[in-house]
Structure 1
Amino acid sequence: MSLWNWLNEIFKYLGWFKKSGKIVFLGLDNAGKTTLLKRLKDDKLFQSSPTSHPTSEELILDDLYLTAYDLGGHKQVRKVWKEYLPVVDAIIFIIDVCDSERFNEARIELDALIADEQLLNCPILILGNKIDKKNALGEFDIRKIFNLYGRTTGQEKNKKTRPIELFMCSIKKREGYGDGLRWISQYF
């Protein structure tokens, strides 16, 4: 057992984390899933090769201890998503807001997650990533294209309905995703 894992086990045992859970990063390939995971883990930005197999990282965000899974986004890899979904407490779905040619493909995947009956109580944070690029679509357009009007629950905690919300962000510039993570952490 690594020192990191050993310390985390001690922290959990002593109750130093008020909340813990499992979260999964989903979205099409090149949306920013691995980049966000590495940014949260090591606060480093790097170009990664496409995720070929599921990976996990242990994250500490304020008083929240998370096991985060990055499952990849290639079409072949998306077939294994369902194997992980029954054991997660929340989903982060990342959309590349510059890749308009693949919006329909991303919308189909997001709609399938929202419609999945085994996930009816699982909060979904949608991150519209890459807002720092010139050809990025804005929040209004993303909500319209992804049919999010009337489906999202707002950025305040809402216990009456399944929480789904969109936050626009730039993982590269460290903008917006922090608000989304604070929002979803309310549901652990």
Structure 2
Amino acid sequence: MFSMNWFYGILTSLGLKQKKAKLLFLGLDNAGKTTLLYMLSDERLAQHQPTQYPTSEELSMGKIKFNAFDLGGHQIARRVWKDYYAKVDAVVYLVDASEKERFMESKKELDALLLDESLANVPFLVLGNKIDVSYAASEDELRYYLGLTGLNTGKSKVDLTETNIRPLELFMCSIVRKMGYGEGFEWLSQYIK
């Protein structure tokens, strides 16, 4: 189980104590964006209605402030994603690993984000959520269907100063079981400037 104190401790140990960041939580509807936002905000697990309008939460952990935006994932909501790309520090892209029939749709949206020039230097944390469901895809399977094989930078810190590679990695998680996403945020925090 990950608590806010644990999350704060990770970020502080990585030297992000005085930083502010703008994170976008993107992905198809029902992937877990709102659940993750509230889990990080107040460790509250509840049933949420589909996000109709963009919402944001300021996550304060000590002297760190994150503005996290949940923009919704239904088709109409995806049209406004571009309006939030300015000055974004990272994208957290969620995929429901148990909805294999939607992997191609999710890949299409992720590809569009990765090709968008305004996000060219932005790190991407891809979370394969709902691994607690018995028929969820494995990490290798999800990586294959999302076309991420060979594009990932690795789960450890990679020095990107000499390369023109964007930080991009897939972490499998279960938000409701509070597992996996903490490691993803730990990885992501290394690349927030």
Normalised by the length of structure 2, the TM-score is 0.86
Residues 1:182 and 2:169 aligned together: no
Q: Decide whether aligned partners of structure 1 residues 20 and 147 sit closer, same or farther in structure 2, where only a CA change above 3 A counts.
A: same
What are the residue-to-residue correspondences of 1:122-141 with 2, within 5 Å?
Answer: 122-141=122-141
Structure 1 runs (4+) greater than 6 angstroms displaced: none
Structure 1 residue 169 corresponds to structure 2 residue 169: no
**Alignment correspondent of 2:5:** none
What pairs with 1:1-188 in structure 2 (closer than 5 Å)? Answer: 17-61=17-61, 64-158=64-158, 159=160, 160=163, 161-188=165-192
Q: Which has the higher contact order (CA 8 A, sep 6+)?
A: 2
Q: Which runs of 5+ in 2 are unaligned?
A: 1-15
1:112 Cα deviation from its structure 2 partner: 0.5
Q: Which segment is superposed worse, 54-63 or 36-45? A: 54-63
Distance in 2, Cα, partners of 1:73 & 1:61: 27
Aligned pairs, how many? 173
The RMSD of aligned alpha carbons is: 1.4
Following the alignment from structure 1 to structure 2, what is the Cα–Cα distance between the partners of residues 178 and 63?
Answer: 19
Q: In 2, are the aligned partners of 1:123 and 1:187 still within 8 Å (CA)?
A: yes
Once residues 106 and 64 of structure 2 are traced to their aligned partners in structure 1, the CA distance between those partners, rounded to angstroms, is 29
> In 2, Cα distance between the equivalents of 1:82 and 1:178?
27
Unaligned runs of 5+ in 1: 1-15
1:70 to 1:111, Cα distance in 2 relative to 1, 3 A: same
State the partner residue of 2:6: none
